[in-house]
Structure 1
Amino acid sequence: MSYEKKLLPLHKKEWKEFWLEDIVDIESGKDIYERERIDGNIPYVTATAQNNGIGYFVNNINKTLEEKAISVNRNGSVGYAFYHDYKALYGNDTRKLIPKYKNKYSSLFLTTVITKQKEKYGYGYKMGTGRLKRQKILLPINELGNIDFAYMKKYMQIGEIKEEYKILDYYYKLLN
């Protein structure tokens, strides 16, 4: 039996609502205006839906410097969420979410769940700190009714492996 078959599909898993603020700490970003930006290697996350939310690479430093955090656009491309496994700075048009359960794959799962709710937000109804704190999200639960972080991790790892196989298959076909 393959590893994948042991994992319940999403539609068969039990889900429950949770307040986002109970899962992550939510902080505001801080703008680095164009005239202040120093070219460098530190990703500066802005409110774009492209390039994992990275608008610039800078050599500036401020209090928003964080790694293993999720950015959520509150302006611009409102509602898009991205996981940053690397140190990055966060602009004011984003919110920095610091997961209380530190795991790359669980954080990637959270970004998907958050982004799925982007349709209810817009320019006139921004995804600001207050709304994010009171945002409910559905997450898979274990038999105790707690968030099933292990399931989320396995689900995302399997997805990553599937994508890697697609890439390998593509190059294999090119070679043959």
Structure 2
Amino acid sequence: MLQLSDREWKPFFLTELFTTIQRGKRLKSENHMVGKTPYVSSSALNNGVDNFISNTDKVRVFSNCLSLANSGSVGSSFYEPFAFVASDHITHLKNERYSKYHYLFIASITNRLSQKYNFNREINDNRISREKIMLPINEQGDLDLDFMEQYIKEREVKLLQKYKSFISKNIQTGGGAETP
């Protein structure tokens, strides 16, 4: 199994990693229209989904990207595989080259920004442009996308095996075990 210590790491500016960095737009809660599109705000829970709306005017819709909370639960970062409307408290980070596995790996790193920022020291556009995160590099000194993808895939397989074993055991014995 791949280990994080198997690679050399290097700092990268967020602006080097993402081709699009854009903040959502303000949409007051009283203007939310009930719908099926996730509304992502600055929550650390449920991928940041705060509501489901149908608004299409004066909103920004993103998908297949990272969301980064600028305020509230500052630094909370999630991979968002679905189309969503971003509040003005969210910055979307996107690079067309990245797979879901790259985003999941990077999200685990960007989540650590919550230790650096807080309600009184929010993440603004200027701070994002200066922010660096450490990521693994290959022998050429470039971002090691292959390692990042394989690392997450291995952990995904391991978790799925654990859950399958748990479910199988509980179906056969009738339960009584704690969820892993």
Q: Please give the TM-score of this superposition, normalised by the length of structure 1.
A: 0.92
- Determine if contact 2:105/2:148 at 8 Å carries over to the other structure: yes
Q: Is 2:130 aligned against 1:134?
A: yes
Question: Which residue in the other structure is 2:153 paired with?
Answer: 157
Give the stretch that moved more between structures: 125-134 or 52-61: 125-134
Shift of 1:44: 0.7
Shift of 1:175: 2.0
Cα deviations across residues 116-150 of structure 1 (Å, max 9, x unaligned)? Answer: 23101011211122111110010000010000011
Structure 2 counterparts to residues 63-78 of structure 1, below 5 A: 63-78=59-74
Q: Please give the TM-score of this superposition, normalised by the length of structure 2.
A: 0.90
Question: Which residue in the other structure is 1:45 paired with?
Answer: 40
Deviating beyond 2 angstroms after TM superposition, the runs of 4 or more aligned structure 1 residues are 99-102
Residues of 2 paired with 1:118 and 1:17: CA distance? 18
Match of 1:57 among 46, 52, 55: 52
Match of 1:13 among 7, 13, 17: 7
The aligned amino acid for 1:35 is: E
Match of 2:116 among 108, 113, 120: 120
Aligned-CA RMSD value = 1.2
Which stretches in structure 1 are left out of the alignment for 5+ residues?
none
Residues of 2 paired with 1:63 and 1:39: CA distance? 14
Which stretches in structure 2 are left out of the alignment for 5+ residues?
173-180
Shift of 1:31: 1.9
The aligned amino acid for 1:105 is: Y
